[in-house]
Structure 1
Amino acid sequence: MTVAVELPNFVKRMVCFMPILAKWLPGDISGDKEFKEIVTDGLRIFNTITTKHSKSRIASQPRDFVDALMDEVDATTDLNSDFHASRDPINPILFDMLSAAVETTGSSLEWIVLYLSHYPEIQEKLQVEVSQLIGTERLSQISDRAGMPYVQAFIQEVFRIAPPTPFGFHMAVEKAEFRGHTYRIVLEKKLPSLEGRILGNYHSPEFQIKFLKSASFHNFGSKPPLPPT
């Protein structure tokens, strides 16, 4: 049973490093053909979207993100730019947005709704802060972010306790000290827990409901921690 499970996994890992192996493997044991079909279907959908936009758009009057992308491509003359028309950038960007943003955004929103329903007192505090700053006569905008520290703290706490991409996190191999904080190993195994997508036990009684500096929230990913405020 172990061999039956491990062999396909081993083959898939090998194909990731040497894609040419997929040509000689029987069937689709590596999953390479299925993946290519998914990508092809996705690009076909995006081709339909971009074709419709090309026929109906008015330059410099974007109706949505696709129109804005087309305006950027039209205005780009630098051959080295990622937005130059020769690179055909629109469909790959749309595909990246769908594959990389939809699941993680949806997962985060699900966890936010879950915790709001379980902690109505927190929900009330969030509503008060939003109502005081924004009111009911307008929609929120990015400039409102700095004026809603409690909302930001709540979102960061959701990311901490239920990270949307747990397998993307680095694993601590030993206890570390950084800027006066002690980071202990919270994983008993090398892989995160699949139950609830929670890395270890984050329900420690040591965590109190209090504001911390933004830099204490380490956004492991594509950008450095936020500077202290």
Structure 2
Amino acid sequence: MSLDWTIGFHVVNGISRGLVYLHQDSRLRIIRRDLKPSNILLDNEINQKISDFGMARSFRGNENETNTKRVVGTYGYMSSDYAIDGLFSIKSNVFSFGVLVLERVSGKRNRGFSHPEHQLNLLEHAWMLFKQGRNLDLIDKLIVESYNLTEVLRSIHVGLLCVQRCPEVRPSMSSVVMMLSGEGALPEPKEPGFFTERKLIEGGSSRIEHESCSINEVTITMIEVR
């Protein structure tokens, strides 16, 4: 996960602008339902391409969201509103992007994240540190030599805005681009949507039947919502 911060920030910006194109600039509004690191390709000049659109959905006209009975994606990058309720929209992509940002800053994966002092996932951990004013503790020690402190702290803040529990309060990707490149004050983030497959299973939800679970970055998750 670790990557020189200058390159990492360039990648984050590229992904955000790519999502803006898919959400509002292309002829059809496209929702990328499985946004994760392995679906972000880099060429020799570190140009980013969002790949694998096999699970993408397109919207026409003023459509912004829809419900599905088959949830596809990878645990750790799905918002709770999508994974549990089957509701996906451009804000589902915003959530996944927020996870990518927090992973890039921390050098850790959200899925499978562990800490010796607690059992929180990465989003919970980042939220706890933010509330305690300890954002510096989230930063990957391997990027210390290359990072711009202002950029990193701003990226953490924007990442937390993207993973807020309620889809309506997550920013649009066009707003995210502006926030990442700007210097103005940012709104205070609200609590993230803490979805993990462990919590879904422990919750014993009778509404969801697992067909197959994603155990790595290649396999997809498919859940039947009843």
Greater percentage in helix: 1
Indicate whether the TM-score tops 0.5: no
TM-score (ref. length: structure 1): 0.26
TM-score (ref. length: structure 2): 0.27
Greater relative contact order, per chain length (Cα 8 Å cut-off, separation 6+)? 2
Bigger Cα Rg: 1
